[in-house]
Every structure is written in structure tokens, then in C-alpha cells.
Structure 1
Amino acid sequence: MRTLFLSSKILIVAFVLVLSACNSKPKNQEAEQKSAETATEENWIQLFNGEDLNDWQIKFTGHELGDNYNNTFRVEDGLLRVRYDNWDEWNGSFGHIFYKDEFSHYKLRVEYRFVDEQVKNGPGWAYRNNGLMIHGQSAESMELDQQFPTSIEVQLLGGTQGKEGYDPRSTLNLCTPGTNVVMNGELIEQHCTNSKSETCYGDEWVTAEVEVHGGEIIRHFVNGEEVMHYEQPQLDPRDPTYETLLPADGNIMITKGTISLQAESHPTDFRKIELLVLDE
């Protein structure tokens, strides 16, 4: 009788375990679901809708606002593409495509890759080179022949190809057209500062994320890893745009601005451009 009781008890326990296993989800599936739910709750804004450029403004050096010179910026196969197949050669017309709104406190996340060959006679430094221009001036305020918007540039770079393959080259560096920042308590006036990222080789997709807190701290992330941070973005008195962009109260600190992408001579793909507004 005791043997029968124990056998029945074992069967019941086994049944409960099987039922529990059937109703449970693999850990990775639970993590994916939780991540998706979190993303939904956080209300990420899709700046690029994968269909058109209706929410964007285009400005090329030497061209009027709205002139998409040589159809350089385009949407194909759900990607925002920078292409030079309609160019005979590079002629110094740097391009920028601006999102319609300005932002102050936010996270910006972009997935990008470099493809194909640089346009003929493109600058050597612009090989596998693009950028996220944040805290920028408006597209309307740019001069006709102005090359870059006054902004903070989160520089996107791919490894350069040397004799024995690709040479090391960090990405999500900092460049400062018309601006300065403070890093480790020191005012940084040099144009570009390298991050501590690894090199991104070939045509691989890279996830770039920037966390922006108004006129305070800004952080750069490559594939989820922080590679740089700095603070106090500000106008540079040495730049020709300084007097024009300086507000009436004389405050040189930059607390908000436009977001734009570049066209600097190398074909680039963007498959995701999204933004999460943060509390101030």
C-alpha cells in the first residue's frame, strides 16, 4: 500500500513539472519579450519611417535649402541611403539632412554601415566617414556656402584599408564644428577627439547611441558600450557663425538643437534612426 501511495505521489509531481515546463518560456524568449515591452513603454520616436524623407530637410554647400543635389539622399529597400552614383567626382558640396524638430534631453539610436567605394577625388579623411550632428543650428540658418552646421558631431568612422587589410580606427569620436566642450574639467578647443571604441571593419552594421542631457553631459555608445563622454557644449567664439548664433542674453551654452546626418563623399546606409525623449 505504501509503495502504491509513493508511486501515485511521484506521478503527480512529474505531471506538475511537465505542466509547468509547458507553460514556461525559454529565458531568451522572456528577455526578448521584456525588451520589446520596455521599448514600447519608453515610446521611442522613429525619426526615419523607412518610406520617405518627408520629415527631413536637405542642405548642400553652394545649394539652396531643399535641393537634394544629385539625388544623394534617398530611400531604397527601407534604408536611408547616401549615394554618389550620380556624381562624376567630388566637388566640395558637403551635404546634411536635418530632422524637422529640435531636441534637448534625449537618447538617439542609429544603425549604420559603410558600403561600396568613395566617390572619385573624395577627401582622404572622408573615407568611410559620416556623422550624427546634434545640438545643431537650423538648416534655415546655414549660409549658402557653409560646409557644416555649427553643432556637436558624433563622428561615424569605418576602418581604413591599408596594404595588409583594414587599419585600426575608432568610431563615435567627437568633432566640434563651431563649438567647444569640456572634458575632464578642461575646455577642449581642438576640432576632433578620438573615442576609446574598437574599429568597425568592412560593411558590418553598427549601433551608435548618443545620450544627451541638454547643456550638461553627453555620452557616446558603440554597440551598447560607452566609449566617450563630455559636458558643457558651447559656441566657439573663434567661429564665423558665433555672432549670428549667439542668443540675445549672451549665453554661449548649447542646450538644444537640430539632428542631422552627413554626406561627405562615402556611401552610407542607415536602417534605423530613433529617439527617446528624456525628462529634463
Structure 2
Amino acid sequence: MKKTWLILPAILGIALFFQFTFKKEQPTWTDLFNGKDLKDWTPKIRTHELGVNFANTFRVEDGLLKVRYDGYEQFDQQYGHLFYKTPYSYYLLSIEYRFVGEQCPGGEGWALRNSGAMLHCQDPKTMLKDQDFPISIEAQFLGGNGKDKRSTCNLCTPGTNVVMGDSLFTPHCINSISETYHGDQWVKANFIVLGDTEVHHLVGKDTVISYYQPQIGGGNVSPFDPSIKVDGKKINSGYISLQSESHPIDFRRVALVDLSSIKDDPRKLAERVQTLLK
């Protein structure tokens, strides 16, 4: 009897060790949007101070994170971004969105059914009050206009450049190979972000664009603090933000898996991402 009680704690200890190790190596989904409120999110809207949610642009209603402009007389280039509190480096991000309603008066033509998720953003505390976009990599969301082909999960580069093929890609935007999604249908976008090495945009399980070595550079962000925009500097991590660019949009899921614990094991990374996307 005494021997049994001596052995049991050892067995339990070994089981707990393997359980802890297994869990540590198995990153899980974290819901960045809780479906109830904007806890852990901070707005930065052009011409307004950090934290000011002008005209209740970002709100939660019916379990959805909504971007709305019913408090605007004119959009007046008041581009907005809603920042999550934590910066990330290696991760899988999943966002479900839909475009709804009519564009805000004064919104630019190119902003019709246009929004996005900004990846590897600069710290919002370092943005100037009148700065239009954060230095970041933009995963551009486009909704169909009912007639033209408009791919989504495109790439835009406010204050950044990336490598595509063997060359530095310096134009501002490039379209993905996705289908066009007309109307108010929900779209599931996934993003595999691996530090300063590679980024992949997916619609569902389908990769629609890939690029490498994200770095600071180029234009399409103004004004900015020159001590923050150091051209040529690789971007290894950053904040995630959701855009307001004048067209109403809903988000029903924003979730992330932090992959940093397995970032040095390419096989585990590939297997884990493949499992999560099933």
C-alpha cells in the first residue's frame, strides 16, 4: 500500500508535465473581439486624439463590431483605425466581415466598399494627430459593386514595402487572385503572418497573395514622425487594426492564434496552421 502511494504522485507528476508541454506546443484561438464591447481596442481617427471615438464610428450592436457614419455630415478624410491592445509577430489571424449600406457622403470614389485589416502597424501612440494611415501592411478588403471584378484581401503598403519574387515591390497596391464578393455576404479572411519573413493572405483556405520581408519605406502615409518611419527597417512585429474608410462594414469575428512558441520549427508551423484552417 505504501509503495502505491509513493508511485502515484510520480505518475501524476509525469502526466501533468506532458499535459503542460503538449498544451504549450499547441497554440489556440484567442477572440480579440468578444462580441460584447470594444474592451482592449483603441480608436485613432484622423484629426482626433488617440482614444476619441468620433461620432461613435466604432460600435458593438447585435453581437457585431460595426463601423458606421450616421454621426458624420461629411467624411472629410477622417480615416479611422481601431487598434487591438497587443502587438504580435508570428500569428494566424481570422476575420469575418461584410459590407453593408451606403457610403458616407464625402467619401472618395476609391473607398466605395473598401476597408481593411492593418498588419504590423506602428504603435498608435506614435501616430500624429493628422496622420491618415498607420505605417503598416494593409490587407485590403473590397466588396463587389454589382458589376466589376473586385478582388479582396489585396495588398496595400502605407509607409511600407515588401519583396515579391526577387524584387522590392514599391507600388502602393496590388490585387490578389480572389473571387469578387458582391452584396452583403460574409467573407472569411485569414492571414498567416510570420515576423519579417513572409505573409500570406487567404480567403477561406485559398491563398490569394503572398509576399516577403515587410519593411518600412515608400509613401502613402502623411504626415508622419520621421523618427518612426525609418526606411529600410524590417518589420518583425506590430499592432493589428481595423479600418474605417467611409463605407459601413460589419465584423462578426476577429480571432488570432499566437504562433511565436513554435516559430523556430517550420514543420510544426506548417502543420499547426494547416490544422487550424480545416
TM-score tier by shorter-chain length is 0.7 to 0.9
RMSD: 1.7
Higher CA-based Rg: 1
1:49 aligns with 2:34: yes
- Gapped regions of structure 1 (runs ≥ 5): 1-40
Q: Normalising to structure 2: TM-score of the pair?
A: 0.81
Q: Which residue of 2 aligns with 1:231?
A: 212
Aligned to 2:72, which of 84, 87, 91?
Answer: 87
What's the secondary structure of 2:44's corresponding residue?
strand
1:190 aligns with 2:171: yes
> 1:241 Cα shift?
3.9
State the alpha-carbon separation in 2 of the partners of residues 159 and 237 from structure 1. 28
State the alpha-carbon separation in 2 of the partners of residues 180 and 251 from structure 1. 8
Contact 1:178 1:242 in 2 (8 A): no
Deviations 1:52-102 (A, max 9, x none): 111001111100111101001000011000001111222111110000000
State the alpha-carbon separation in 2 of the partners of residues 260 and 130 from structure 1. 11
Contact 1:178 1:241 in 2 (8 A): no
Q: Normalising to structure 1: TM-score of the pair?
A: 0.81
State the alpha-carbon separation in 1 of the partners of residues 225 and 71 from structure 2. 35
> 1:194 Cα shift?
0.5
Aligned to 1:259, which of 235, 240, 245?
Answer: 240
1:59 aligns with 2:48: no
Which amino acid counterpart does residue 64 of structure 1 have in structure 2? E
Q: Which residue of 1 aligns with 2:57?
A: 72
State the alpha-carbon separation in 2 of the partners of residues 242 and 84 from structure 1. 29
Q: Which residue of 2 aligns with 1:149?
A: 134
State the alpha-carbon separation in 1 of the partners of residues 254 and 177 from structure 2. 23
Aligned residues: 235
Q: Which residue of 2 aligns with 1:245?
A: 228
Describe how 1:96-135 pairs up with structure 2 within 5 A: 96-135=81-120
Contact 2:126 2:225 in 1 (8 A): no
- Gapped regions of structure 2 (runs ≥ 5): 1-25, 264-278
Distance 1:211 1:242, change over 3 A: farther
State the alpha-carbon separation in 2 of the partners of residues 262 and 251 from structure 1. 25
State the alpha-carbon separation in 2 of the partners of residues 200 and 246 from structure 1. 35
What's the secondary structure of 2:246's corresponding residue?
coil
